[in-house]
Chain A
Amino acid sequence: MTAPSAAYPLPRAAAKPVSEGRSVAWWGIVVVIMTEATIFAALIASYFFLRASAKEWPLGGIEKPELKLTVIFSVILWGSSIPMFIGEHAIKKGRVGVLRVSLLLSFIMGAAFLLYSAYDFHELHFGWRDNAYGSIYYTTVGLHALHVLIGLLMSAVVQIKAWMGKFSAERHTTVEVYAMYWHFVDAVWLFVMPTFILSPHFK
């Protein structure tokens, strides 16, 4: 089974380093995001499945979701990706100060959204036991809020590391990975919000 090795010369390319690609950690978070996104996709599909077989929506005479404040705070959440984006690019050039400020800014915007979510849940006139609409509403919007909370906890760790000067132009994979997760949390809301908050207003 042995062929002469001369027949298979080693390609030069096999040994040459090329320009840097994405790190293993980045690949990891992207794959995790794919599977997490599927959970939300399945929840949104379940929402429409339940709605398709319902005579009225929301069920049981529940009011349509509050729109005005939710839109405002949604914009704040989506906006929090902007400082994250700025910070991520700043650290690639080694600008630690910009990173610290933008992480903090994005944290505050995320926290504002989370506080509003808590308030909003408090104001709801229905519970998750009332009917299937209540169940899917609380579960999905709550699961997203949980993701925001986890994102904020992660941010706290990343921020402390940033203040301790652990990141530099060469070493910032943590920031990259965290930013990816935060963008994901924002992106999910781009689908959850229109489904759960906007769509009941359309006949």
Chain B
Amino acid sequence: MAIADIAPLGVDEHELEEIWSDAPGIPGFFSTVDHKRIGMRYIYTAFFFFFVSGLMALVMRSQLSAPDNHVVSPYTFNQMFTMHGTTMIFLFNTPVLAGFANYLLPIELGTRDMAFPRLNAFSYWIFVLSGIFLYASFVVGKMPDGGWFGYTPYTSKVYNPGINLDFWGLGIVFVGISTTVGAVNFIVTSFKLRAPGMTINRIPIFVWAVLSMAFMILFAVPAVTLATALLELDRLFGTAFFVPHLGGSTLLYQHLFWFWGHPEVYILFVPATGMVSMIITVFSRRPLAGYIWVATALIAIAFISFGVWVHHMFATGMPIQAMSFFSAVSLIIAIPSGVQFFAWIATMWRGKVEFTTPMLFAMGFLLIFLLGGITGVMVAVLPFDWQVTDSYFVVAHFHYVLNGAVVFPIFGAIYFWYPKMVGRKLSERWGHISFWMMFIGFNVAFFPMHILGFLGMPRRVYTYPSGLGWDHLNLISAIGAVIFAVGTGITLVNWVHGRWWGPKAEDNPWDADSLEWSTTSPPPEYNFAAIPVVASRHPLWEQHPLPHAEALVDEEGPKSLSAEGALHHQNTETTGLDARPERALELPHPTYLPFVLALGLAVFFVGLLVKATIVGAFGVGMALVGLTWWAWRTDVDLS
């Protein structure tokens, strides 16, 4: 068996480009199924929502910066904290991580696209349409105001008769489809489309993290879909799920919501730690310490995360035995996170750390997550939780986790992978400035909230009287928020500037180890003309030069591995554990189907919202036609 030792380019690149590229202009925009375009769109769209939601946070902080303030009305304030939380969770954090996973999985695994490229496009269209759906409430001036977890009975029709909450309930059901479809794609891609030789113990840690996230999504998202769907059945059709005097239970809503809600924290946190592991490995210039421990920890978190949800409900009054169980599990879940933490420290300890911008964000993450993790352990303890429930201490805790420990890695990841995605480099100097402003601003904004919580300030208050000892701390917090916002703004300018005027990036500007750095920056539409063959956890560090599967095709292997496969618009399926090549897989061509189907569903949800049967029926009809067309055209049988 001979394996070509040099990158094979026996094919004309122009020919490949013609086969793989989308139609130009608007048709290509709506019909593309290229995971890279979709991934970028995910990231752009999510960051749009990030900045919108961030502006709302700034308004809230300025409202609270002084006692008896009147920047916004209480009514607007309620809408803002509801939409801020909803947007950050559903329209920024979850989709931006999905965007990274979409972009990176295929090039990191050494394949030409996701397992289901059309479903991938579908999940993006659902995401953006559900975002528009939720923000249509802003256009009509009726934003949801029930808090980001929408507890009943406050959100029931009786107490909240407006259309506000219907935007929220239906929007959450809608966006859940996108998340779930994405998870299906990530799981199958990670198991079935790895480069030959990338056995299960050579998968990049980021992919392990995405796998863990996807499995959590699979089992958690149905619960929130059900909670909000039942809420909407109550609101729109008058059922009695959460109506106590008709045998319903408001606690049922809380159980269903948090059965998703707590794994969701890990759905966001786990891929962020995956990014951190990749960044720390590269900039410590050595393999990640305890690879197997870290991978195991990621999977362990996924399991344990399903046994902690009741700690959100400690104040609702439950049998002490039940609460003790959930308290214990909430303490236990700190262990796998601790394992990861020590693996990162050990990696840096034994490595030669380079303080690049991505590395700064990763190290900033470590410090912030340490604090957020410790307060997490504190609120897992029953008596302590009872003291701080619904106070600003909780607000501080979950911002340390969800902002500090998720957003910082995401910014680091942007600085890390930007050269690969865009083909240009960002300014390191402005990156450093942005990081320090974000880091300082973050701590100035959120650390005082711990103390505010101890001083008894409840969350979600619109204003407060002077003389409670809250004034200065709230002012400091507002100043911190502004510094943090300017820091993120600098990064935004850096990205925009880098996109057009940044210096061109090499294929592997960081001298990184994983497969995505072996292709060009940005990668061609087909990612790899010939698929690389992997024999190490760090192929670009340890296999030099990186061999390609060109010559395999003369023997038994499927031809799709070679450049010839790229010419035939094919991918290659490999076995789940050992990644041995199995067979060729036809990749679908650009199509409008995903967009049509997503649009049909959007029309259906609008029909429900405005209670117009004819609109809803039209949407269902459109979706059914789309589905049938899709099922008819499917080419799974071609292989």
What are 20 A-B contacts with C-beta separation under 8 Å? A4-B544, A5-B543, A7-B542, A10-B533, A11-B197, A16-B557, A21-B573, A23-B636, A28-B115, A28-B116, A28-B184, A31-B183, A34-B218, A35-B183, A54-B247, A128-B237, A134-B240, A135-B234, A174-B637, A177-B636
Q: How far is the CB of A132 from chain B (nearest CB, A)?
A: 4
Contact A129 B240 (CB under 8 A): yes
Contact A139 B233 (CB under 8 A): yes
Chain A residues in 8 Å Cβ range of B249: 49-50, 53, 132
Partner of A173 from B226, B513, B639 at Cβ < 8 Å = B639
Partner of A31 from B3, B184, B285 at Cβ < 8 Å = B184
Asked if B259 is at the interface (CB within 8 A of a chain A CB), the reply is yes
Asked if B75 is at the interface (CB within 8 A of a chain A CB), the reply is no
Chain B residues in 8 Å Cβ range of A12: 1
Contact A21 B576 (CB under 8 A): yes
Count of residues in B whose CB is under 8 Å from the partner chain? 77
Contact B233 A135 (CB under 8 A): yes
Q: Give Cα A22 to B233, complex, Å.
A: 39
Asked if A24 is at the interface (CB within 8 A of a chain B CB), the reply is yes
Contact B3 A15 (CB under 8 A): yes
Chain B residues in 8 Å Cβ range of A1: 285, 511, 513, 541
Contact A17 B556 (CB under 8 A): yes
* B 140-168 binary contact with A (CB < 8 Å = 1; else 0): 00000000000000000000000000000
Closest to A17 in B: B556
Q: Give Cα A96 to B278, complex, Å.
A: 51
Contact B246 A172 (CB under 8 A): no
- The B-contacting residues of A in range 128-146, CB under 8 angstroms, are 128-136, 138-139
Binds B, one of A37-45, A106-114, A189-197: A37-45
Binding site for A on B (CB under 8 A): 1, 3, 115-116, 180, 183-184, 187-188, 191-193, 196-197, 217-219, 221-223, 225-226, 230, 233-234, 237-241, 243, 246-249, 252, 255-256, 259, 285, 511, 513, 533-536, 541-545, 547, 549, 552, 555-558, 573, 575-576, 578-583, 585, 624, 628, 631-632, 634, 636-639
Q: How far is the CB of A44 from chain B (nearest CB, A)?
A: 11
Chain A residues in 8 Å Cβ range of B180: 35
Asked if A18 is at the interface (CB within 8 A of a chain B CB), the reply is yes
Contact A128 B239 (CB under 8 A): yes
Q: How far is the CB of B328 from chain A (nearest CB, A)?
A: 22
Chain B residues in 8 Å Cβ range of A161: 632
Q: Which 3 A-B pairs have the closest CB atoms?
A: A14-B197, A132-B247, A135-B239
Chain B residues in 8 Å Cβ range of A39: 222, 225-226
Q: How far is the CB of B638 from chain A (nearest CB, A)?
A: 7
Q: Give Cα A18 to B191, complex, Å.
A: 16
Q: How far is the CB of B110 from chain A (nearest CB, A)?
A: 12
A135 and B248 in contact, given A17-B580, A24-B115, A31-B188 (Cβ under 8 angstroms): yes
A35 and B184 in contact, given A50-B247, A59-B247 (Cβ under 8 angstroms): yes
- By size class, the interface of chain A is 35 or more
Contact A43 B247 (CB under 8 A): no
Q: How far is the CB of B476 from chain A (nearest CB, A)?
A: 43
* A 59-73 binary contact with B (CB < 8 Å = 1; else 0): 110000000000000
Asked if A118 is at the interface (CB within 8 A of a chain B CB), the reply is no
With contacts A15-B533, A50-B248, A129-B238 known, what are 8 further pairs, Cβ within 8 A? A5-B547, A15-B555, A15-B581, A17-B558, A17-B582, A21-B575, A35-B183, A161-B632
Q: Give Cα A99 to B220, complex, Å.
A: 37
Chain B residues in 8 Å Cβ range of A34: 218-219
Contact A16 B556 (CB under 8 A): yes
Contact B222 A38 (CB under 8 A): yes
Q: How far is the CB of B583 from chain A (nearest CB, A)?
A: 7
Contact B534 A14 (CB under 8 A): yes
Q: How far is the CB of A149 from chain B (nearest CB, A)?
A: 11
Q: Give Cα A154 to B184, complex, Å.
A: 20
Chain A residues in 8 Å Cβ range of B192: 24, 27
Q: How far is the CB of A52 from chain B (nearest CB, A)?
A: 9
Q: How far is the CB of B382 from chain A (nearest CB, A)?
A: 22
Q: Give Cα A121 to B160, complex, Å.
A: 31
Q: Give Cα A90 to B219, complex, Å.
A: 34
Chain A residues in 8 Å Cβ range of B636: 23-25, 173-174, 177
A28 and B188 in contact, given A3-B541, A132-B248, A177-B636 (Cβ under 8 angstroms): yes
Interface centre among A46, A50, A161 (most CB of B within 10 A): A46
Q: Give Cα A50 to B259, complex, Å.
A: 17
Q: How far is the CB of B227 from chain A (nearest CB, A)?
A: 9
Closest to A168 in B: B637
Asked if A166 is at the interface (CB within 8 A of a chain B CB), the reply is yes
* A 95-130 binary contact with B (CB < 8 Å = 1; else 0): 000000000000000000000000000000000111
Q: How far is the CB of A60 from chain B (nearest CB, A)?
A: 7
Chain A residues in 8 Å Cβ range of B187: 27, 31
Chain A residues in 8 Å Cβ range of B221: 35
Contact A16 B580 (CB under 8 A): yes
Chain A residues in 8 Å Cβ range of B285: 1
Contact A135 B241 (CB under 8 A): yes
Q: How far is the CB of B180 from chain A (nearest CB, A)?
A: 6
Chain B residues in 8 Å Cβ range of A18: 575, 578, 580, 582
Q: Give Cα A128 to B578, complex, Å.
A: 52
Interface centre among B219, B555, B558 (most CB of A within 10 A): B219
Q: Give Cα A201 to B120, complex, Å.
A: 46
Q: Give Cα A3 to B287, complex, Å.
A: 13
Chain A residues in 8 Å Cβ range of B3: 10, 15
Contact B246 A131 (CB under 8 A): yes
Q: Give Cα A129 to B218, complex, Å.
A: 31
Q: How far is the CB of B525 from chain A (nearest CB, A)?
A: 20
Interface centre among A34, A43, A133 (most CB of B within 10 A): A34
Contact A38 B219 (CB under 8 A): yes
Contact B555 A132 (CB under 8 A): no
Closest to B540 in A: A1
Closest to A174 in B: B637
Q: Give Cα A7 to B579, complex, Å.
A: 21
Q: How far is the CB of B507 from chain A (nearest CB, A)?
A: 15
Q: Give Cα A35 to B179, complex, Å.
A: 11
Chain A residues in 8 Å Cβ range of B238: 129
Contact A10 B573 (CB under 8 A): no
Chain B residues in 8 Å Cβ range of A60: 247
Asked if A32 is at the interface (CB within 8 A of a chain B CB), the reply is yes
Q: Give Cα A167 to B636, complex, Å.
A: 11
Q: Give Cα A135 to B197, complex, Å.
A: 53
Chain A residues in 8 Å Cβ range of B511: 1
Closest to B577 in A: A21
Closest to A19 in B: B582
Q: How far is the CB of A171 from chain B (nearest CB, A)?
A: 4
Q: How far is the CB of B234 from chain A (nearest CB, A)?
A: 8
Contact B188 A129 (CB under 8 A): no
Contact A132 B188 (CB under 8 A): no
Contact B632 A157 (CB under 8 A): yes
Q: How far is the CB of A188 from chain B (nearest CB, A)?
A: 13
Chain A residues in 8 Å Cβ range of B585: 24
Contact A132 B533 (CB under 8 A): no
Contact A174 B634 (CB under 8 A): yes
Q: Give Cα A142 to B498, complex, Å.
A: 54
Q: Give Cα A175 to B247, complex, Å.
A: 44
Chain B residues in 8 Å Cβ range of A7: 542
